[in-house]
Amino acid sequence: MTISYEEEFSSSMLRWRGSIWKAVLKDLIGFYIAYYVILYVQWGLMDEKQKEYFTGWIKWCEIGTQYIPLSFLLGFFVAVVVARWWEQFNWISWPDKLMMTVSTCLPGKENLEVRKTIARWSSLQSAIAWTGISVRTLKRFPTERHLVESKLMTEEEYDLYMSVNAPHGKWFVPLLWILNLLKQQLRERRIDTVQMQMLVDQLYKFRDGFAMLYVYDWVKVPLRGREDQEWFSERPVS
């Protein structure tokens, strides 16, 4: 999760949380250990002839690195990571558009409870979905009982939710509740078919955003050539 520190830019290099030092600490320690081990072997255990061969091998490796466009590869990788981050941000689903459409199609005090229920269920769905993506949300709602304690879910809804058998995640269940509630409003003629289509379209867009975030969370940026192919080959095609 992104950590904001633009207001403390002057001391940002001294921060530990969210710093570059925390991200590369293990790699840096491993590099220094390997470097000093090789240095000790070269100058402490090798004779003069072995040192000469080893120095020649180092120069040969240095010449080989000149044929690898490392700057281009790193620049391409950074561009992919930044573009991926921005695409993920654009896929974040906000309940505002859904609720504005609900308020437009179901106005008045007589529909107040329906609007409240849809707002609560959309917030519930967001909380459940984010627990599978965001560590901070998972710490806030580590179990389903925490959703009940926060008033996002009633006891009856908790029992219904826990009875659903979905091994690959149940974050979509509150959206099915909203869809059934909208179908009930259509049967009671509180909305017409055009309004129903508008509401369902917004509901699908709300769902698609979280679905894409889950896909981004599942499929990482491949760091080697066949990593993406191996990832898909390990999963059954449905």
Q: For 30-49, what is each residue's pLDDT tens digit?
A: 999 999 998 898 888 888 88
Would you say the pTM of this structure is higher than 0.85? no
DSSP-based three-state secondary structure for 81 = helix
Comparing 10-24, 70-84, 171-185, 192-206, the range with the smallest average pLDDT is 10-24
229 pLDDT higher than 90: no
From the CB of residue 192, how many other CB atoms can be counted at a distance below 10 Å? 11
Burial 131-144 (b: 16+ CB within 10 A, else e): bebeeebeeebeee
Nearest of 79, 69, 84, 81 to residue 23 by alpha carbon: 81
Task: Note the residue count of the chain.
Answer: 238
Chain-centroid distance of CA 185 in Å reads 34
Q: Please return the burial class of 215, using the count of CB atoms within 10 Å of its CB with bins 0-12, 13-18 and 19+.
A: exposed
Map out the domains of the chain as residue ranges: 15-90, 95-218
- Structure-model confidence comparison of residues 153 and 227, the more confident one: 153
Say if residues 91 and 212 touch (Cβ distance below 8 Å): yes
